């Protein structure tokens, strides 16, 4: 490992310490399980660590965004692997947004119910913004898409969820 | 701003930092356009609905269920990582509020609901002195409006506390800034208790925790619960003079009072929405604090929240900054009694000679001439020292006789808990 990689690794360790709440929250609400989220974070760290150990210095402009990008890709892979992307029918208790939740599983279910009714690219922007605490500009960098696209995906996603909530409320 | 422009810009209000100008333009537009206002409120409701509602403690419990690690290599690095993660764990889910509206709603649940909110804003109306610090409530004083805004972001807490026509305190996450309308500017560390007893109001969870302690302290302290269609009301009553409710308010002056607090929570999210505090003494029940509408997880502009007066940096001084004094002068000032100091201060003010009490009036040097003009021709007499349990210093009461012969009772608040142990006027003028 060269000296430059050492420096990046040190920055990575500090960044993980500072950002772990947001990374963990994002991964938890993406994967629906805190243990899986913890594993995902370990995987991300190990992946980045081995890249730095084995290869020349990677070209990383923003380590934080790189970290989120790696985590986002890893979560997608995990979900595909585990086939955990369950679609909940729209007519299934949409009003649960106002119900009491005191554990992660039910809260995840509640939020999944809201996010599962919009295209995944919109849901991913919302997850990175809210649970990852990323700005729209950071989300654009993480997903490698233009900033206006991030903003429109976020807005359309939120609008669509709202419409769904209103529709269901009016039919209950 | 047109409706179309508003629709193009509104998404910016949901970013991590909000442009002040955009916010102002949008606010101006929604104030006069009901359609866009409804649209914005819809978006905000949905945004709030998407916030996670699980408290960190709950997650810690679930964390214990399973503990397997697939990798043994680079074990040391993983350990470092996990330590870092554990440090950050307590900040997990920092924005949500755990909702609870069940019949078993308790103070514990209420605390859990408010302690994880990302931001809140409220106006506190308290019977206190407008021109004083934040050390005490005064049942005989009029209500003073105190605006409080607080925001938590990235492990930092930012707040702004503004006493109407009085002093303002701003915390930018690193320092606390205090300034007064008469031009005093102080900069203190995060640990300095510049908010004094009003710090209890800055954190609703602390207000509730102290009530809970009071309930646990004595069987005589009791809590009652009622509910309406949309609210749950918890009323706590402190029945003993030395109970925690009294400590909560830090009212040294009201040793024989009982305290009643009414906490109203909304059923939909379990959040504390309004508070009333009464003091009961000699058969009289006096409302001393009311907070009518606490708003949570609202959009606050960090820049506006932590903005401070633009003055040269050297003007921001530490409250206890040491003054340059000769040893003789220091000896004299340290041995001086509070009563003597008060007499000297009033003489200096009435005579308009700042040199006679410049060390004691260090916080008032910019307004000395104005004070002196107001007191020109007056006489101060009958100086009496009174110690107050809630105040770090002492009060010196005196009679001020005006040139027209009328007189009134006034006081100086002075303290010597500074590095040089000299008496300094802290309030009253």
Which CATH number does the domain housing residue A118 bear? 1.10.10.10
CB of B38 closer than 8 Å to CB of B30: no
Nearest CA in chain B to A132: B93
The continuous run of DSSP H or E covering A52 comes out as: helix A34-54
The model's pLDDT over A60-106, given as tens digits with 9 standing for 90+, comes to 667 888 888 888 888 888 887 765 444 444 334 344 443 334 567 77
Distance CA B280, CA B260 (A): 8
DSSP type of residue B310: -
Inter-chain touch B50–A165, beta carbons under 8 Å: no
Q: Is the ipTM of this complex over 0.90?
A: no
Query: What pLDDT is attached to residue B85?
Result: 37
Cβ contact (<8 Å) for A154 and B91? Answer: no
CB contacts, 8 Å: B88 with chain A = 17-21, 24
What pLDDT score was predicted for residue B105? Answer: 60
Q: Which residues contact B298 (CB under 8 A, 6 or more apart)?
A: B119, B120, B121
Report the C-alpha gap between B231 and A98 in whole angstroms. 15
Residue B249 is predicted with a pLDDT of 53
B81·A45 Cβ contact <8 A:
yes
Gap from B42 CA to chain A (nearest CA, Å): 7
Helix (H, G, I), strand (E, B) or coil at B80: helix
B205 CA to chain A: closest CA distance, Å?
18
Q: Are residues A104 and A129 in the same domain?
A: yes
User: A20 and B89 in contact by Cβ < 8 A?
Assistant: yes
Answer whether B65 touches A (CB < 8 Å).
Answer: yes
How far is A23 from A31, CA to CA, in rounded Å? Answer: 12
**Which residue, among B4, B8, B12, B15, would best test binding to A if mutated, counting the most A CBs under 10 Å from its CB?**
B15
Whether the CB of B77 is below 8 Å from some CB of chain A: the reply is yes
* CB neighbourhood size of A103 (10 A): 15
C-alpha distances in Å from residue B12, one per residue of A119, B41, B150, B151: 21, 14, 21, 18
Q: A131 and A104 in one domain?
A: yes
Q: Which CATH architecture has domain B327-427?
A: Roll (3.10)
Per-residue tokens: B16:
């991590």
* pLDDT value of position B260: 85
Which of A32, A54, A85 lies at the terminal end of a domain, its last residue?
Answer: A85
Residue closest to B428 by CA, chosen among B146, B129, B165? B129
The shortest C-alpha distance from A115 to chain B (Å) reads: 9
Instruction: State the residue range of the domain holding A81.
Output: 1-85
Long-range contacts of A61-66, Cβ-Cβ distance < 8 Å, separation of 24 or more = A62/A138, A62/A141, A63/A8, A63/A11, A63/A12, A63/A15, A64/A15, A64/A19, A64/A138, A65/A134, A65/A138, A65/A141, A65/A142
Chain A residues close to B93, C-beta within 8 Å: 21, 25
- Which of A22, A51, A85 finishes a domain? A85
Contact A19 B88 (CB under 8 A): yes
Domain final residue pick, A65, A85, A105 = A85
- Report yes or no: B97 and B106 within 8 Å, Cβ to Cβ: no
> Rounded to whole angstroms, what are the CA distances from B197 to A16, B201, B210, B280?
37, 8, 13, 19
pLDDT < 70 stretches in chain B: 54-105, 116, 135, 214, 216-219, 239-257, 320-323, 388-391
Asked if B62's CB is within 8 angstroms of A102's CB, the reply is no
Residues of B in contact with A27 (CB under 8 A): none
Cβ partners under 8 Å of residue B227, min gap 6: B233, B267
- Chain A residues with CB under 8 Å of B42 CB are 162
Asked if A161's CB is within 8 angstroms of B49's CB, the reply is yes
Are the beta carbons of A155 and B11 separated by less than 8 Å? yes
Tally of domains within chain A? 2
Of A41-50, A89-98, A156-165, B10-19, minimum mean pLDDT range? A89-98
Give yes or no for a contact between B205 and B114, defined as CB atoms under 8 angstroms apart: yes
- Closest listed residue to residue A15, CA positions, set B283, B85, B360, B144: B85
**Same structural domain, A1 and A47:** yes
In DSSP terms, which residues pair with B396 in a beta bridge? Answer: B385, B412
Q: What is the pLDDT of residue A84?
A: 42
Question: Is the same domain home to A93 and A155?
Answer: yes
Place of tokens 């970013």: B15
Contacts with A, B 333-372, CB within 8 Å: none
* C-alpha to C-alpha distances, A125 to A36, A131, A147, A151, B250, nearest whole angstrom: 21, 10, 11, 9, 48
Distances (CA, A) of B140 to B136, B147, B287, B395: 12, 21, 10, 17
Count A/B contacts: CB-CB distance under 8 Å: 137
Minimal CA–CA distance to A95: which of A166, A11, A5, A7?
Answer: A166
User: Residue A29: which CATH number?
Assistant: 1.10.1740
The rounded percent of chain A whose pLDDT value lies above 70 is 75
8 Å CB contact of A24 and B92 = yes
- Do A145 and A169 have their domain in common? yes
| Chain B: closest CA distance from residue A70 (Å) | 16
Domain B107-296 matching CATH 1.10.3470: the answer reads no
Contact criterion met (CB < 8 Å) for B77 and A135: no
Question: Token digits for B4?
Answer: 């179309």
Residue spans per domain, chain B: 3-49, 56-89, 107-296, 327-427
Q: What chain A residue is nearest to B156 in terms of C-alpha separation?
A: A18
Q: What predicted TM-score, i.e. pTM, was given to this entire model?
A: 0.46
A30 shares a domain with A41: yes
User: What pLDDT, on a 0 to 100 scale, did the predictor assign at position B323?
Assistant: 66
Residue A150 has pLDDT above 80, yes or no: yes
Please give, rounded to a whole number of angstroms, the shortest distance from the CA of B255 to a CA of chain A: 41
Q: Which residue of B has its CA nearest to A154?
A: B11
> How is residue B112 written in tokens?
């859990």
State the greatest distance between any 2 C-alpha atoms of chain B, in Å, as a whole number: 89
Q: Which of A34, A53, A161 sits opposite B46 (nearest CB)?
A: A161
Q: Identify the H or E element spanning B213.
A: helix B204-217
- How far does the CA of residue B187 sit from the closest CA of chain A (Å)? 27
Residue B413 per-residue DSSP state:
E
Whether residue A14 sits in one domain with residue A66: yes
What does the pLDDT average to over A107-123? 84
Same domain, residue pair A51 and A104: no
Same domain, A120 and A153: yes
* Residue B325 in tokens: 């004094």
CA distance A164 to A94: 8
How long a stretch of residues is chain B?
429
């Amino acid at each position: 490992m060269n000296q430059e990689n050492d420096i990046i690794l040190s920055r990575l360790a500090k960044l993980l310490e500072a950002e772990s709440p947001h990374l963990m929250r994002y991964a938890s609400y993406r994967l629906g399980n805190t243990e899986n989220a913890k594993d995902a974070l370990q995987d991300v760290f190990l992946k980045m660590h081995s890249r730095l150990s084995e290869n020349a210095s990677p070209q990383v402009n923003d380590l934080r965004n790189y970290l989120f990008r790696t985590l986002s890709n890893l979560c997608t892979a995990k979900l595909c692997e585990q086939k955990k992307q369950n679609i909940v029918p729209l007519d299934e208790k949409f009003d649960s947004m106002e119900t009491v939740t005191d554990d992660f599983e039910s809260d995840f279910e509640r939020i999944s119910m809201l996010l599962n009714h919009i295209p995944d690219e919109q849901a991913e922007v919302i997850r990175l913004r809210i649970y990852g605490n990323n700005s729209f500009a950071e989300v654009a960098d993480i997903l490698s898409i233009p900033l206006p696209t991030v903003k429109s995906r976020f807005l359309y996603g939120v609008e669509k969820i709202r419409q769904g909530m209103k529709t269901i409320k009016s039919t209950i | 701003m047109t409706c179309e422009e508003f629709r193009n810009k509104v998404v910016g209000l949901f970013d991590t930092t909000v442009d002040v100008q955009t916010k102002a333009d949008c606010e101006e537009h929604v104030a006069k356009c009901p359609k866009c206002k409804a649209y914005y409120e819809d978006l905000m409701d949905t945004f709030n609905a998407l916030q996670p509602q699980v408290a960190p403690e709950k997650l810690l419990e679930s964390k214990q269920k399973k503990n397997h690690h697939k990798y043994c290599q680079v074990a040391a690095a993983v350990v470092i990582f996990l330590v870092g993660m554990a440090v950050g764990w307590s900040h997990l889910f920092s924005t949500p509020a755990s909702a609870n509206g069940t019949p078993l709603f308790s103070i514990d649940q209420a605390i859990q609901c408010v302690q994880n909110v990302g931001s809140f804003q409220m106006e506190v109306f308290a019977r206190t002195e407008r021109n004083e610090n934040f050390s005490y409530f005064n049942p005989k004083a009029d209500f003073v409006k105190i605006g409080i805004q607080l925001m938590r972001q990235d492990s930092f807490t930012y707040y702004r506390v503004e006493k109407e026509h009085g002093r303002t305190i701003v915390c930018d996450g690193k320092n606390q800034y205090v300034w007064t309308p008469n031009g005093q500017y102080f900069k203190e560390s995060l640990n300095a208790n510049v908010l004094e007893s009003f710090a209890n109001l800055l954190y609703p969870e602390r207000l509730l925790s102290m009530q809970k302690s009071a309930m646990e302290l004595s069987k005589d302290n009791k809590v009652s619960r009622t509910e309406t269609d949309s609210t749950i009301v918890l009323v706590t009553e402190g029945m003993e003079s030395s109970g925690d409710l009294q400590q909560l308010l830090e009212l040294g002056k009201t040793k024989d009072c009982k305290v009643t607090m009414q906490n109203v929570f909304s059923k939909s999210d379990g959040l504390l929405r309004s508070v009333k505090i009464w003091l009961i003494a000699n058969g009289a029940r006096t409302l001393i604090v009311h907070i009518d509408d606490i708003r949570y997880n609202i959009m606050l502009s960090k820049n506006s929240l932590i903005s401070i007066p633009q003055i040269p940096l050297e003007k921001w001084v530490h409250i206890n900054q040491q003054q340059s004094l000769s040893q003789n002068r220091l000896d004299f000032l340290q041995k001086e009694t509070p009563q003597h100091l008060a007499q000297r201060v009033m003489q200096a003010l009435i005579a308009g000679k700042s040199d006679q009490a410049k060390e004691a009036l260090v916080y008032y040097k910019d307004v000395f001439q104005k004070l002196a003009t107001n007191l020109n021709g007056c006489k101060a007499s009958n100086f009496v020292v009174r110690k107050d349990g809630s105040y770090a210093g002492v009060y010196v009461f005196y009679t001020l006789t005006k040139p027209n012969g009328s007189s009134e009772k006034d006081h100086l608040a002075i303290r010597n808990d500074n590095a040089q142990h000299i008496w300094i006027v802290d309030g009253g003028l």
